[in-house]
Each structure stands twice: as structure tokens, then as C-alpha cells.
Amino acid sequence: MDLGIAGRVALVTAASKGLGRASAVAMAQEGAKVVICARGAEALADAEAELSALTEVLAVPDDVTEPEAPARLVQAAVLRFGRLDIVVANAGGPPPGRALEVSDEVLEAAVQANLLTSIRLVREAVPHFRERGWGRVCLITSVTVRQPSPVLAASNTARTGLWAWAKTAADDLFDEGVTVNLACPGIHDTDRVRQLGHAAGRMGDPADFGKVVAFLCSEPAGFVSGVALGVDGASVAGLL
């Protein structure tokens, strides 16, 4: 199936490893030009080398959770490629902790990284989407927006807030040709999963997850908006 994104420009944040990198690769395989960022120079250079074999790529060393970083990244994409069509917002998750154990500082950091960062990225990108009457936003979150983890209270809080914001933003933007969706991964074979000690049993392949993100950002998915799509191997028990 032709996803209709060849020649479009996608910004994928925190894309040097894991699900962010897999999403950038999937976009590149579909012919999109890709802008990536990450804090670690070595991992970023490695991702850039892989993507360069597939498409035009701009790698920007930056910490997307800094308040001014979303504006810098969007500006860099437009300066390099003259347009921006797709934003895939991704950021590292907060440390584990139960609800009554997490401090104000941990909660504030989680909201900064996993809620406000994505909102800032969308706000910066929307004027460029409006210029062309087309845009795609995919926010990488977690299955915890539907089934909170008892040991990831800070993540549950911030990501569920983002889900609520995205539902309203999707309605605001749909008539302008812009979709806003969440991709909600379960346990995938990534460094973060290993760090959290969840690497047991069957895990998802990040490459497959990246293809799901690419579909949500595609032309055929133009009538899919306001959705939190679980990519979780049937791990979520609820019906909604």
C-alpha cells in the first residue's frame, strides 16, 4: 500500500534509539525526508547514518524537553527542507514510582517531558500544516493511558493528560486537514524496557511499531483522528 508520504518532511523527536528511531526509519522507507533529534551525539550519528542510506536526513543534537527546543527543531526542519508535514513526538519516560511515592519534582519533570513537550511541538508545527492544508501528528505515549501501571505513576499522569489534550486538539484541527493521534506501545524490545526490568515473554518489534506510526501519518489515514491506537500484543484488558 502506498502511504502517500514520499517527499513529505517528518520531524521525529528522541529518534536515536528505540521506538523513535524505528518510527523515523519507517518514514524514511516510505520516502519521507526526516529530521531527527536526540541528546546523545554518538547514538544520533548512528541513527543519521542508517537513515542517510534511505532518504535525506537532518540530525539535530537537542533535548526536546527543553522549552525552546520544539521551536528550534521546527525551524531547522523548515530551513533545511522548506516545509514540514509530519510530527512524531517522542520523549523518554520518567522513572518508576508508585502514586504516593513520587515527589512534586518527579511529577513536574514528567509533565514537562511527556505532556508539555508534545503540546509545544504541535503548536510550533501547526502553522506550517495550515499553509498546505495537510498535516499529521502522532504522539508516542504508552498503553498506560488506558491501563495505568501501578509502578509508573508519573508516566500515567503525564501521558493521560496528553491523551485528553490530543482529543480536543484533534477536533480543533480536523477540518483543516490535520490529524492528531496517539500510538500507545506496550512492551517492545527497547533499551528502556530492559532498564525497567520488563524484558520477559513476548515483546513487540520496534520496526513493526514504526510502521504503525507511519500508517497513522499517511494519506490513507486521513479520516483517522483523535485515536489512541494500542500496539500492545493484547496486553490491555479493558474494552475501551
pLDDT score of 137: 98
* The CATH number of the domain covering residues in 9-231: 3.40.50.720
Q: Are 27 and 4 in contact (CB under 8 A)?
A: no
pLDDT score of 240: 73
Q: What span, in angstroms and rounded, lies between the C-alpha atoms of 106 and 99? A: 11
Q: Are 173 and 126 in contact (CB under 8 A)?
A: yes
Tell me the DSSP string of 121-160: HHHHHHHHHHHHT-EEEEEE--GGGTS--TTBHHHHHHHH
pLDDT score of 30: 98
Alpha-carbon torsion, ordered 1, 88, 43, 70, to 10 deg = 150
- CB-based burial of residue 185 (10 Å sphere; 0-12 exposed, 13-18 middle, 19+ buried)? buried
Tell me the DSSP string of 17-60: SHHHHHHHHHHHHTT-EEEEEES-HHHHHHHHHHHHTTS-EEEE
The model carries a pTM of 0.95
The residue ranges of every structural domain in the chain are: 9-231
Low-confidence ranges of the chain (pLDDT < 70): 196, 198-200
Q: Are 206 and 22 in contact (CB under 8 A)?
A: yes
Q: What span, in angstroms and rounded, lies between the C-alpha atoms of 172 and 176? A: 8
